[in-house]
Amino acid sequence: MTHLKRAISLGSLFLLASIPCLAQSGMHRSRINSNDVGVNLTFSIFQFDAATSPAGDNVQRLPQSFQTAEEEAAYLKANQKLEGVALRHTRKIGLSTDEPFNDAVLLGPEYMLIKVVPRQVELGHMKLDVSVRYANGSLLDTKALELSSFETVLLRGGKGMFGVKYFIGPGGRQQATPLERTLLVSVTPEIVPASLVRNRPQDLSRPVDQFGAALALKPDDKFTPPVILDRVVPKFETGRKITGTVKVTCIINAEGKITNVQVVRSIDPDIDRVAVDAFKQFHFSPALLNGKAAPATYQEELSFGRELSSWEIEEQQIQEKKKNEKNKAPRQVPSPFPVPPVL
């Protein structure tokens, strides 16, 4: 990462760092008793082309939930008839009532900043605050959204230049330009006893010193986890079927470099090795502690092949049908004579 890009990254994230992240330090949490509950919250960030898609409500409750964000994207294309749907970010995080979680993802030239706060979490029911900002503008600000356990709700947001259009430029090189797209946020809660809450914010990332020892945060400290700038997909020999996930932990230093990678959930040694090799090629913007770059732990789960859902199969069939229709369309043969202009 160049010094200029790092400076842009840190400057763009300063707004997010200004929000206290005490929940991520694990401080000041009261002792859990058997009556406490929490939420395993899954949220995904999609983009779509509102200009060519059917109109819809800003809040829409879906008739079902989905195992993966990719399966949900296929449903949105096949069932909701949304054009230009693309998954940009997804996260699974475990939270208690009133425990905020701040997340960020680099989309195009700017960061998209996401904040979720569960409210009034009870067995089977909860409320949720969701806010999304991009390029210092608000795209979504929903308060006290009522949710039942395992219910999936779609939230339509505003438009921004966070889409990407690829094209072949001079010299045959692939180039990209920003594209206006509309935000779509999906949220699904799993309300469980506090002892079953997974992926706590402090498990995802926490600040450490230069030797990797955890830092004790003060109440007024502000911490922002590292942000993935670029991913690399693990590659295997053709024909090998792999399912499952490899979970890795590491330290992202103050320069955004990956160190101390360890596998904490394995599939098998060969697959683990390929997963780690791919993970070491990720690019990060470093964590921020009180607005300054700082080393921090980071946890990532790398997913591999699975059975396609009915919606994904349907989406593949639709795309194959469009491709066949395009190939069958008669070619336009240019006339050997000039065409007169229309007056």
What string of H, E and C letters represents the secondary structure of 65-97? CCCCHHHHHHHHHHCCCCCCCEEEEEEEEEECC
**pLDDT confidence of residue 110:** 86
Amino acid 305: pLDDT? 58
Question: CA-CA distance, 196 to 175, in Å (whole number)?
Answer: 46
Per-residue pLDDT of the chain (343 residues; tens, 9 = 90+): 444 344 444 444 444 444 444 334 444 444 444 359 999 999 999 999 999 999 999 999 999 999 888 899 999 999 999 999 999 999 999 999 999 998 888 887 888 999 999 999 999 999 999 999 998 899 999 999 999 999 999 999 999 999 877 778 787 787 778 889 999 999 999 999 999 999 898 889 999 998 889 998 888 888 888 988 888 877 766 555 677 789 999 999 999 999 999 999 998 898 899 899 999 999 999 998 988 999 999 999 887 755 555 555 655 566 666 667 666 666 554 444 443 433 3
Taking the C-alpha atoms of residue 171 and residue 93, their distance in angstroms, rounded to an integer, is 44
Indicate the pTM of the whole model.
0.72
What is the 8-class DSSP label of residue 19? S
Residues 148, 187: Cα–Cα separation, whole Å: 11
In angstroms, rounded to a whole number, what is the distance separating the alpha carbons of residues 111 and 9?
Answer: 8
Q: Three-state secondary structure along 242-261? A: CCCEEEEEEEECCCCCEEEE
Q: Residues near 56 by Cβ (< 8 Å), separated by ≥ 6?
A: 80, 156
Domain boundaries, the chain: 36-195, 200-306
Q: What is the pLDDT at residue 315?
A: 55
Give φ, ψ of 4 to 5 degrees.
Answer: -65, -45
CA-wise closest residue to 42 among 268, 198, 170: 198
For the chain, strand residue ranges (E) read 37-48, 59-61, 86-95, 101-107, 110-122, 125-134, 137-148, 153-168, 174-193, 223-224, 227-230, 245-252, 258-265, 283-285, 287-289, 292-294, 296-303
What pLDDT shows up at residue 229?
84
Superfamily of domain 200-306: TonB (3.30.2420.10)
* Rounded Cα distance, 84 and 50, in Å: 9
Please say whether the beta carbons of 181 and 163 come within 8 A.
Answer: yes
Dihedral of the CA atoms 305, 311, 317, 320 (nearest 10)? -70
